Amino acid sequence: MSSLTTEQIQQALPTLQKWSLKDDKRIERKYVFKEFLQAISFVNEIAQLSEEMNHHPFITIQYKIVLVSLTSWSAKGLTQTDFEMAAEFEKIFSRMTSHF
């Protein structure tokens, strides 16, 4: 798995509107929930998906805020898998919060 070029990253990033590029090697997003347990449920779902895909994010939980960061250590930067995972996380978040 090879890392994406700067141009490829700049093309892919707009597809993930609330994600931002950090240090040119990772993408990051802050998710805000109405309730603590909803945040924990989200973390459990993305953890399960991450385990299935064998691609694990950095996750920080701060009460009702979940900070997720993705990178590919083996590629020493961002890969297509990072952007695919972020898109899947967005689907999970949208499904979980659609009724609010």
Which pLDDT score is estimated for 37?
97
> Token digits for 52?
């299935």
CATH number of the domain that residue 14 is part of? 3.30.1360.20
Do residues 58 and 22 touch, judged by C-beta distance below 8 A?
no
Q: Is it the case that residue 35 has pLDDT exceeding 70?
A: yes
Rounded to whole angstroms, the Cα distance separating 34 from 23 reads: 30
Q: What is the mean pLDDT of residues 48-63?
A: 97
% of the chain at pLDDT higher than 90? 89
Q: Which band of pLDDT confidence, cut at 50, 70 and 90, is reported for residue 99?
A: low
Confidence of residue 98 (pLDDT cuts 50, 70, 90): confident
Flag whether 1 is in a domain: no
CA separation for the pair 9, 31 (Å, rounded): 21
- Average pLDDT across the chain, whole number: 95
Separation of alpha carbons 3 and 22, rounded Å: 15
Domain count, the chain: 1
Split at pLDDT 50, 70, 90, the class of 100 is: low
